[in-house]
Structure 1
Amino acid sequence: MEHFSFLQEITVVFILSSFVIFLFNKMKLPSILGFIITGLLAGPYGFKLVSEVEQVNLISEIGIILLLFTIGLEFSLKRLNKIKDIFFYGGSLQVFGTIILTFTAAYFILGFSVKLSLVISFIISLSSTAIVLKIFQEQGETQTPHGNISVGILIFQDITVVIMLLLIPYLSAGAQADFAGIAYALLKSALIILGFFLVARKIVPKLIYEVLKLQNNELFLIFSLSICFIIAFIADKAGLSLAFGAFLAGIIISESEYSHHVFENIMPFKEVFVSFFFISIGMLLNINFFLQKPFTILALTLLIMFFKCIIVVLGMRIIKIPLKAAFLAGISLSQIGEFSFLLTRFAYENGILSDAIFQYLISSTIITMMLSILLIKEMHVLVGWLDRFITFDALEKGGKKPVSSLKNHVIIIGYGISGKNLVKSCKTFNIPYVIIEFNPKTVRYYS
């Protein structure tokens, strides 16, 4: 009967979210924001339509795993190599710049302890991979200059989450500084990540090829999900996180010629589970606590978003990134991210955060997410308004268009006799072309 009760609650959530998303589409507001509002209405601090919040959180965690998996699929080590300066220099400037500024404010202005200030600075330094890349995918901006900047910094952040999670137990009340233990944990994590790439990149593409030869979509879907969850669980057991493991799995598969086929099969499932993630975020917002201190929380939220944006802009200017792209990336990364929930909960369980600070951080995180969804949607309008006061270089105009080496090209569907003849004609007249072929043997033979 418990399972039946949960099924009823899920049905209520689906009906409520459908109604809310319908209204939001009518008002031309982002769907992600609608899912968060659905969670707020249905959760324990709203109308209490859902009592099994833990089970909703479990479904949402599957959503994060699938989201990070598909992000990894769209990414590649070749692309990371192209934006390595943004990844190393831009990422470190953003993360460490935010940590230093937040630590200074928490320790010297608010009078918090060193450990508490450091944990709070960890939490605020992260941005939302889920929100930023989902909106970028919807708007076709993942390959734009500001899209590359955001992706590079977000990946750097996702890697630093591993280190932050390892450090939190050593920052808990009564914990003794064990530098040897910290060094061992960091070394273990680095070796695990390296081992994934050395082993999985050799084995996984071969396994995918053997499965694809059978041309059974059901088997291929199950196999792709198995790879995702197996690597995610191994990473989790090794002290990393499930989401980071799923991201690694996606990157490993992205290096094979079958990544687009995997992405196509996973996408429908990802969208359903990711919606539960945003619903679960809405359920965390304690509206009673917010109503008690609305101006304090809103002021804190706006300060966080402003300074996070400025830090990204200054960091990008240091590494010679054009001002317009830096502003767009700064606006995109101004929120606090979903991994911050993980750090906040972990720090709370380790006795570092008090109840009040925990609620402040949760409330601020959710509100920064909600505001940034609206800002990212309208950031080109905002930057256009700033253009009246700040002169952007001519080369920066039109930065919204994706960077692509192909223009006015031919798309050849199928590489049979007709497809081969068409390729010969394209080569003769120097016409760029792309071939779409389903048969994995043909793809491997001619790649």
Structure 2
Amino acid sequence: MVEIVSLLAASVVAVLLFSRLGLGSVLGYLAAGAFIGPAGFGLVNDADYMRHIGEFGVVFLLFLIGIEIKPQRLWVLRKLVFGLGGLQVTVSGLLIAALSYFAFGIARETALVIGFGLALSSTAFGVQILADQHQTTSHWGRTSFSILLFQDLAVVPLLILLPLLSFGEMRFSVSMGFALLQSVGIFISVLIAGRYAINPMLHAIAHSKNSDVFVATALLLVLGFAWIMELVGLSMAMGAFIAGVLLSESEYKQQIEADVMPFRGLLLGLFFMSVGMSFVPETVFDNLEVVIFGALALIAVKAFVIIILAKLWKTPLAIAVKCGFLLSQAGEFGFVLFTLGDSLGLLPEDMMETLIAVIVLSMVTTPLMVKVGELLAEWLKSPASDAMEVSEPVPERPVIVAGFGRVGEVIAGMLRKVDVSTIAIDMDAKKVAEGRRLGYNVLFGDASRPEILKSVGAGRARLVVVTLDNYKAAEGVVRTMKRHYPDVPLHVRVRDWPDADHFTELGASHAIPETVEASLRLGASALEAAGVGEEERRTLFEYLREGDYEKLRDYHKL
């Protein structure tokens, strides 16, 4: 119990502190692990056991990376992702490996582990900075994201490559090609088998309307594919990645992602804490010059390589500089690769502590590097770079319809008729399947969960229309939207006027009782049949609709 409380308390305090300082949660977890680990206060002594459990966090992380990789998105960015991103990983990895090999006289296998482990940048830092600055759709944002995306994809073959490197020098010459062929072959075979089994299973589970079983199914998919890959001698992370790719186009993607996210966060945090627990200050201080020189050399090499390669892709120099400085640090996957390399005997004794220190130091410099890159880019800015930044498309602003029953379907149909982008969300698998059959963009999920709303772009939505029959569910959507996206207008369907007043107090822009317009339509036909003229009818209806149906409320009170 002491260890559990220590882990939770240290992680909460450290992550909050480091996030406030703008250094990110990864460094917070590392610091928390070092603080309570054997080299710190000794509250947790079995770092290896914690690391084995934490490795499941890496499995869930690869699953979530896979689930975000849409074939259409890869196709649009294919030249940047596979061209620029592929060259960045290859050139940076080989260059850092060569420098390590000649500078320290280490084995070629060790140099390759170091080179490609440090060639990967921090997705957590890069994506977060782009999001905070609202630059994800800018030219330099898309270029940086494309490089990060390929780095994430490269983790899978790199995780396969390390065990092959551990076979020895005799197999080194064919190991990389064998790793690629093996990963492609297994990927295709499991892809074909899983494609025809996963969706039918999810349909059956979703129809049961049991949320606990659905969560268990999501975990089974991740861990099941991971286990299959381990059985055939490959990494669990690759199996989880394949499972994610198979679900990337599924209507159940958002709900599965939301269900898996908490497990990923907890277990990945535990993994980084276990890495911090293995931190030995004496080793780092004994090699302090190597750590500082290594971090500075790493930052310089990666920034230089990215700038040169981006220029070869006809990117303006100012934009190339911003990309290079943003991605100059080593990333969290370096911890994963070095941990695996250390367990396979590919790293000499005490080298892992030095490499961890290099990664941490390079991460700490990221905010400063971004600031310097922005200042340098401003000085180098040209009309070409300005034009490329301005020409970026504005992100689509959809209307989100929470609930795809009779009312939700009518509203979605009206919006589709006038070419307004619409995303509907419902927890009824039958309604989702029927809506998708009719060509609507309907997703399975609980619209009251912030993860679901975030995944469908609620922050940039024109408005959210809540048509759910369930009062508590509708209230949950409104409360979540007002808490996370208070500026997005909310239109809510309710049963009666007291409910309308309640939702208005919660922050809804409009809350319309479901009987109001039906009563007006029926009244219109009655007036017409009674011989009342069109102009008189129109005047009466305008009068009744004034002030948010204030006169109809008076009728209700009578």
TM-score of the two chains, using structure 1 as the length reference? 0.85
Deviation at 1:25, TM superposition (A): 5.1
Q: Which residue of 2 aligns with 1:4?
A: none
Asked if the contact 2:121/2:148 (under 8 Å) is kept, the reply is no
Q: Which residue of 2 aligns with 1:190?
A: 184
The separation in 2 between residues aligned to 1:218 and 1:14, in whole angstroms, is: 25
Deviation at 1:212, TM superposition (A): 0.7
Q: Which residue of 2 aligns with 1:395?
A: 387
The separation in 2 between residues aligned to 1:302 and 1:105, in whole angstroms, is: 13
Find 2:119's aligned residue among 118, 122, 125: 125
- Give 1:41-440 correspondences, 5 Å limit: 41-129=35-123, 132=126, 144-146=141-143, 148-162=145-159, 164-170=161-167, 172=168, 175-177=169-171, 186-323=180-317, 325-348=319-342, 351-372=345-366, 374=367, 379=370, 381-392=371-382, 393-397=385-389, 405-407=395-397, 409-440=398-429
Deviation at 1:237, TM superposition (A): 2.9
Deviation at 1:217, TM superposition (A): 0.7
The separation in 1 between residues aligned to 2:171 and 2:203, in whole angstroms, is: 48
The separation in 1 between residues aligned to 2:261 and 2:175, in whole angstroms, is: 40
Asked if the contact 2:130/2:136 (under 8 Å) is kept, the reply is yes
Deviation at 1:226, TM superposition (A): 0.4
Amino acid at match of 1:21: V
Asked if the contact 1:325/1:396 (under 8 Å) is kept, the reply is no
Task: Tell me the secondary structure at the aligned position of residue 233 of structure 2.
Answer: coil
Question: RMSD of aligned C-alpha atoms?
Answer: 3.1
The separation in 1 between residues aligned to 2:150 and 2:75, in whole angstroms, is: 13
Deviation at 1:369, TM superposition (A): 3.7
Deviation at 1:305, TM superposition (A): 1.8
Deviation at 1:431, TM superposition (A): 3.1
The separation in 2 between residues aligned to 1:330 and 1:178, in whole angstroms, is: 31
Deviation at 1:285, TM superposition (A): 2.2
Asked if the contact 1:83/1:152 (under 8 Å) is kept, the reply is no
Number of equivalenced pairs: 431
Superposed CA deviations along residues 248-305 of structure 1, whole A, max 9, x for unmatched, are 2111111211101111222223222222122223223221112223233112112102
Asked if the contact 1:150/1:332 (under 8 Å) is kept, the reply is no
Amino acid at match of 1:257: E
Structure 1 residues 342 and 271: alpha-carbon distance in aligned structure 2, compared to 1, 3 A threshold: closer
Deviation at 1:133, TM superposition (A): 5.2
Q: Which residue of 2 aligns with 1:444?
A: 433
Amino acid at match of 2:302: K
Asked if the contact 2:81/2:147 (under 8 Å) is kept, the reply is no
Structure 1 residues 362 and 220: alpha-carbon distance in aligned structure 2, compared to 1, 3 A threshold: same
The separation in 2 between residues aligned to 1:270 and 1:116, in whole angstroms, is: 29
Deviation at 1:61, TM superposition (A): 1.0
Amino acid at match of 2:150: I
Deviation at 1:327, TM superposition (A): 3.9
Structure 1 residues 421 and 332: alpha-carbon distance in aligned structure 2, compared to 1, 3 A threshold: same
What runs of 5+ residues in structure 1 fail to find an aligned partner?
Answer: 1-6
The separation in 2 between residues aligned to 1:433 and 1:355, in whole angstroms, is: 57
Which protein, 1 or 2, shows the higher relative CO under an 8 Å CA cutoff with sep ≥ 6? 1
Structure 1 residues 259 and 322: alpha-carbon distance in aligned structure 2, compared to 1, 3 A threshold: farther
The separation in 2 between residues aligned to 1:347 and 1:330, in whole angstroms, is: 27
Asked if the contact 2:84/2:313 (under 8 Å) is kept, the reply is yes
The separation in 1 between residues aligned to 2:373 and 2:29, in whole angstroms, is: 27
Structure 1 residues 312 and 191: alpha-carbon distance in aligned structure 2, compared to 1, 3 A threshold: same
Deviation at 1:218, TM superposition (A): 0.3
Asked if the contact 1:221/1:262 (under 8 Å) is kept, the reply is yes
Task: Tell me the secondary structure at the aligned position of residue 210 of structure 1.
Answer: helix
Q: Which residue of 2 aligns with 1:3?
A: none
The separation in 1 between residues aligned to 2:175 and 2:282, in whole angstroms, is: 41
Amino acid at match of 1:122: F
Structure 1 residues 113 and 293: alpha-carbon distance in aligned structure 2, compared to 1, 3 A threshold: closer
Deviation at 1:394, TM superposition (A): 1.2
The separation in 1 between residues aligned to 2:373 and 2:354, in whole angstroms, is: 30
Amino acid at match of 1:311: V
The separation in 1 between residues aligned to 2:337 and 2:22, in whole angstroms, is: 33
Structure 1 residues 134 and 221: alpha-carbon distance in aligned structure 2, compared to 1, 3 A threshold: farther
Deviation at 1:114, TM superposition (A): 4.2
Larger radius of gyration: 2
Aligned residues with identical type, % of pairs: 26
Amino acid at match of 1:432: S
Amino acid at match of 1:385: L
Amino acid at match of 2:257: F
Deviation at 1:64, TM superposition (A): 1.6
Superposed CA deviations along residues 38-75 of structure 1, whole A, max 9, x for unmatched, are 11111122222211212221232122222222222222
The separation in 2 between residues aligned to 1:118 and 1:277, in whole angstroms, is: 23
Task: Tell me the secondary structure at the aligned position of residue 423 of structure 2.
Answer: strand
Deviation at 1:224, TM superposition (A): 0.6
Which shifted more, 328-337 or 94-103?
328-337
Which shifted more, 27-36 or 197-206?
27-36
Deviation at 1:328, TM superposition (A): 4.3
Deviation at 1:220, TM superposition (A): 0.3
Superposed CA deviations along residues 338-382 of structure 1, whole A, max 9, x for unmatched, are 44345435544555543254443233233334444x45xx83x44
What runs of 5+ residues in structure 2 fail to find an aligned partner?
Answer: 437-558
Which shifted more, 26-35 or 51-60?
26-35
The separation in 2 between residues aligned to 1:270 and 1:72, in whole angstroms, is: 13
Structure 1 residues 292 and 166: alpha-carbon distance in aligned structure 2, compared to 1, 3 A threshold: closer
Task: Tell me the secondary structure at the aligned position of residue 387 of structure 1.
Answer: helix
Amino acid at match of 2:306: V
Which shifted more, 30-39 or 184-193?
184-193
Deviation at 1:243, TM superposition (A): 2.0
Task: Tell me the secondary structure at the aligned position of residue 116 of structure 2.
Answer: helix
Structure 1 residues 146 and 283: alpha-carbon distance in aligned structure 2, compared to 1, 3 A threshold: farther
Deviation at 1:15, TM superposition (A): 1.6
